[in-house]
């Protein structure tokens, strides 16, 4: 992923963060996923008074892309707190693993972000082969 693509993803994630619905935690998160053809899909976290019913920004962005027919991605950016780097939660890491998203960017702002290898965020992820063999990865 080139620097311009990373910057565009970070910018889109920061814009999506502004729309987060976070009346309980006050912790907005935005995400943007880049399709193989360069289209960007965004999502934000949406809380619910019944906490498990909430949705993370990453899964909302990926779900939006899948709804549009995309299942192959170049990368995803996550923008949470501007005071630190917000990493995807375990469930989001599993979804990132499902779609083999190769690049994960976590950003505080437009100028401060870190880039991670998506395949290393969830060692021993549960994958399709696990269903066939009955064994977990790793």
> Which amino acids are annotated as binding site for substrate, given as ranges?
45-51
Measured distance between the N- and C-terminal CA atoms of the chain, rounded to whole angstroms: 28
Handedness of CA 103, 121, 92, 15 (dihedral sign): negative
Q: Is 36 a catalytic residue?
A: no
Closest CA to 78 of 136, 20, 137: 20
Binding-site residue positions for Zn(2+): 56, 89, 92
Residue 66: what are its φ and ψ, rounded to 5°?
-65, -40
Catalytic pick among 5, 58, 110, 127: 58
Binding-site residue positions: 45-51, 56, 89, 92
- Reduced to 3 states (helix: H, G, I; strand: E, B; else coil), residue 50 is coil
Residue 80: what are its φ and ψ, rounded to 5°?
-110, -120
Catalytic machinery residues: 58
């Amino acid at each position: 992923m080139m620097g311009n693509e990373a910057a565009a993803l970070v910018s889109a994630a920061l814009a999506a963060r502004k729309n987060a619905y976070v009346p309980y935690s006050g912790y907005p998160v935005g995400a943007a996923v880049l399709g193989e053809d360069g289209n960007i899909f965004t999502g934000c976290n949406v809380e619910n008074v019944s906490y498990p019913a909430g949705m993370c920004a990453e899964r909302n962005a990926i779900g939006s892309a899948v709804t549009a027919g995309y299942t192959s991605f170049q990368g995803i950016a996550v923008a949470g707190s501007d005071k630190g780097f917000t990493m995807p939660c375990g469930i989001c890491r599993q979804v990132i693993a499902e779609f083999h998203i190769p690049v994960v960017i976590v950003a505080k702002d437009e100028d401060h972000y870190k880039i991670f290898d998506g395949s290393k965020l969830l060692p021993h992820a549960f994958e399709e082969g696990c269903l066939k063999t009955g064994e977990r990865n790793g």
